[in-house]
Amino acid sequence: MGKTRVLVLGGTGYMGKRIVRACLDQGHTTYVLQRPAQEIGLDIEKLQMLLAFKEQGARLVEGSFSDHQSLVNTVKQVDVVICTMSGVHFRSHNILMQLKLVEAIKEAGNVKRFLPSEFGMDPALMGHALEPGKVTFDEKMTVRKAIEESKIPFTYVSANCFAGYFAGNLSQLGTLLPPKDKVGIYGDGNEKVIFVDEDDVATYTVKTIDDPRTLNKTLYLRPQENILTQRQLIEKWEKLIGRTLEKFHISAQDFLAPMKVLDYATQVGLGHFYHIFYEGCLANFDIGEEGEEASQLYPEVQYTRMDTYLKRYI
């Protein structure tokens, strides 16, 4: 194990930087795509992050999604490709750009595993999703179709709810911090939700790249102690701060009522929240033969429990 040559695309992004660190920590030869100077422009924070990765042992390789041959040449240097391009509309939404990467991997012909940018709900189970949020899942399925038709070995990662966006704020929309006095509860607050620390997502993801058990399968991150209802998450916070928050319930009808007057990105997010907290889409199915569960495959990973995670907000 180790010393696999891994290329990370989107390495300076929210998940990408964590994936790069996990690759280095697990002993892999880590390559990070660096865009040409004209594309980086004056984005000094990203450049400095790339240079920091280089100091930590990563190798920077120049390439661009607007230059097919540069992608092919980059891919030919590695065994595994992990793409972490953003798929959320309030940041940047670039899922279909991965089709160019699929073409490059197909032409290069040497990649032993490709992990496309997913890391959320399993799009294969979201064909019924509300518009306009359905676009996220449809585009991920378009990328999957291209991967599988090209016979590229893959692993898909379904990481459920990033704790930074869903746990620290007690799952409240429009904020990243926990409420001080009142907290909104979706429906009865009893649907099971799965919260995962983003660094743990990266650790589990990188562990799959050499593992034959995850070849051409979906890895579901379901750490047992982090399968919580919204009510249970709130109770953990209340226990930590030593007081009870005032609670108000939001019916499904009231939750969706403002959908049409909101901006596009918020509509997308609202739809996803609906499926998670009213439908229970993260935990209302059993993992079949085409999937594996991360904490069972890798029990050595000491994942972050949510009561520990929430302490940083006190």
Work out the average pLDDT over 160-172. 98
Question: Could you give phi then psi for residue 195, rounded to 5 degrees?
Answer: -105, 135
pLDDT value at residue 184: 98
pLDDT value at residue 288: 94
Work out the average pLDDT over 206-228. 98
pLDDT value at residue 91: 58
Compute the half-sphere exposure of residue 199: CA atoms within 13 Å on the CB side of its CA. 8
Whole-number average pLDDT of the chain: 95
Tell me which residue of 220, 200, 159, 213 sits closest to 309, measured CA to CA.
200
Q: Is the pLDDT of residue 2 over 70?
A: no
Work out the average pLDDT over 93-114. 96
Q: Is the pLDDT of residue 1 over 60?
A: no
Give the chain's radius of gyration (CA, Å): 20
Q: Which residues are catalytic?
A: 140
**pLDDT tens-digit series, residues 100-109:** 999 999 999 9
Hey, what amino acid is at 136?
Answer: T
Q: Is 298 exposed, middle or buried (0-12, 13-18, 19+ CB in 10 A)?
A: middle
What is the value of pTM for the model shown?
0.96
**pLDDT tens-digit series, residues 22-56:** 999 999 999 999 999 898 889 999 999 999 999 99
Question: Could you give phi then psi for residue 302, rounded to 5 degrees?
Answer: -90, 85
Q: How far is CA 69 from CA 64, 76, 310, in A?
A: 9, 11, 46
